[in-house]
Amino acid sequence: MLPVQNISSQKGQMKKLGFIVETQAKFPRKIYFSLWNDKVEGFNSKTGDMVKVFFDLDSREYNDRWYTEAKAWKVENLSGTDDLNNLSAEKIEDVSFASQKDEPDDLPF
C-alpha cells in the first residue's frame, strides 16, 4: 500500500490511495490499483491480505500521450473469511485477464 495522497484540483480536495495486488498464478503479475475519495475511507485491508478487487479501466490523453489507470470501486477482503476457504489453489491459479476465445466479443472493433 502506498500513502494516501491529498490532491487539490479545480473540483476541490480529493484523496487517492494506491495499492498493488500480486496475482497467485503460475507467473504472478503485480497490478497497481487506485481508490478515490470516499472509497479510501472504507478500505480496511492491509499488506498480505487476500483481496478481490472490482475495478474499471480509465484511459485519457494528455499532450499526445495516453495514460491508463485501474480504478478500484470495491475491494473485498477475503483473509479470514469463508470466501477464502471456498477458493481452491486451482481456481486461484486459473485467474486470467485474457478473454476466452469462445466468448462473444461485444466490442465494435
Please report whether residue 25 resides in a domain.
yes
Cα angle at 57 between 53 and 58, to 5 degrees? 140
Structural domain of 10: 5-93
Please report whether residue 109 resides in a domain.
no
Select the more confidently predicted residue: 33 or 78: 33
Please report whether residue 87 resides in a domain.
yes
The pLDDT tens digits of the residues spanning 29-74 come to 999 999 998 888 888 888 888 989 999 999 999 999 999 999 999 9
d(Cα 74, Cα 69) in Å, to the nearest integer?
15
CATH of residue 61's domain is 2.40.50.140
Please report whether residue 99 resides in a domain.
no
Q: Which residues have C-beta within 8 Å of that of residue 61, sequence separation ≥ 6?
A: 67
Please report whether residue 54 resides in a domain.
yes
Total domains in the chain come to: 1
d(Cα 30, Cα 21) in Å, to the nearest integer?
6
Gap between the terminal Cα atoms of the chain = 36
Phi and psi dihedrals of 85, rounded to 5?
-65, -25
| pTM to 2 decimal places | 0.65
